[in-house]
Amino acid sequence: MGSGNGFFSTSEFSLEAKWLIDPKLLFVGPKIGEGAHAKVYEGKYKNKIVAIKIVNKGETPEEIAKREGRFAREVAMLSKVQHKNLVKFIGACKEPIMVIVTELLTGGTLRKYLLSTRPNGLDRRVAIGFALDIARAMECLHSHGIIHRDLKPENLLLTADHKSVKLADFGLAREESLTEMMTAETGTYRWMAPELYSTVTLRHGEKKHYNHKVDAYSYSIVLWELIQNKLPFEGMSNLQAAYAAAFKNLRPSADDLPEDLALIVTSCWNEDPNARPNFTQIIQMLLRYLSHNTPGPTAIPPRVLNTQNAVFSPDSPGTSTLIKERDESEETPKTPMENSPRGLFSCFYRCW
């Protein structure tokens, strides 16, 4: 499985030389997130501040094979597509350990951004601008035959000026040509398409058949949340929301949405996947809405965040989310790692 350049080279996966990270040029700074399968650090590569995701190898042969496979798929997806609304992939290496390097986004997640503005709503044009960013990122993925499978606010990252959104986390992404091999181990329940469920409790590794329209459903829930600035299926647990959507055909209320936006949202969460629009159509509908409508009320601006407030969470439930914001409450004590000088970096190659 290994190769002379320290990376995967198999019949199913290979990485161009331009994406190979030289570990000797990689410097690791403060740890800014940790999960069951990976740790994320702020770091430097060729004098550029970056996010460094280090994947735990695993203990058993089965764990090692699974994590190497997921790592290979994620890197393959990241290197395959580039778009202004996708987190920028810088490179990866497998030796001495599995590492993925991306740009470091300091604007926080869309989830935290929305929470910081509540109970106020977003300016309508800001919300639709974010929705267009997301739709364009998804259009790019689908044009390359990639299904994201975990579209949700936690995987949508804001730029430092809070003017743009980028899609992150390709840990669960798959090529659509492989859908018959896909399992039910997909995204987070609240945003997951109903066709990903069966009438019985899903078993680990159960095979499911679906296509790229699962992302359109997830997008509809994100779009509803952007417009309403409320948690979808509020008052329900994630599993309760998933059950209600799959078996009772329940959806968040669209009664208060403007007619044009209600049409987009409800068409995207249609029970029949084939009736859902593709992302090119979604973009056209959003642009048409913007051209015919004036801005809504302006929301109170959210707090401006910096890299001191950025916390990466590589293993949130059902995902490998790249970034979260830390609660800014002064009552939260800072750990020694959080108090570390931002300019202090250790040579990656010497650490491993």
Q: Give the CATH number of the domain where residue 44 resides.
A: 3.30.200.20
Q: Which of 150, 169, 215, 315 is catalytic?
A: 150
Q: Greatest CA separation found in the chain?
A: 60
Confirm whether 333 is domain-assigned: no
Cβ-based burial of 297 (10 A; exposed 0-12, middle 13-18, buried ≥19): exposed
CATH code: domain of residue 281: 1.10.510.10
Mean per-residue pLDDT, 316-327: 34
CB 102 within 8 A of CB 90: yes
Q: Is 168 contained in some domain?
A: yes
Asked whether residue 323 carries a pLDDT value surpassing 50, the answer given is no
211 and 89 co-located in one domain: no
Collect all residues with Cβ–Cβ distance below 8 Å to 336 and sequence separation of at least 6: none
Lowest average pLDDT, out of 129-138, 248-257, 339-348, goes to 339-348
Identify whether residues 92 and 117 lie together within a single domain.
no
Considering the domain boundaries, does residue 321 fall inside one? no
- 255 counts as catalytic: no
pLDDT for 257 beyond 80: yes
Interval 34-61: pLDDT, tens: 666 788 889 999 989 999 999 888 888 9
Average pLDDT over residues 15-31: 89
Domain containing 7 equals: 1-104
Indicate if 159 and 69 belong to the same structural domain: no
| In a shared domain, residues 87 and 139 | no
Confirm whether residue 53 is marked as ligand binding.
Answer: yes
| 64 and 149 part of one domain | no
The total number of structural domains in the chain stands at 2
Average pLDDT along the chain: 76
25 with 89, same domain: the answer is yes
| Whether residue 131 is found in the same domain as residue 18 | no
Render pLDDT for 271-298 as a digit per residue (tens, 0 to 9): 999 999 999 999 999 999 999 886 545 4
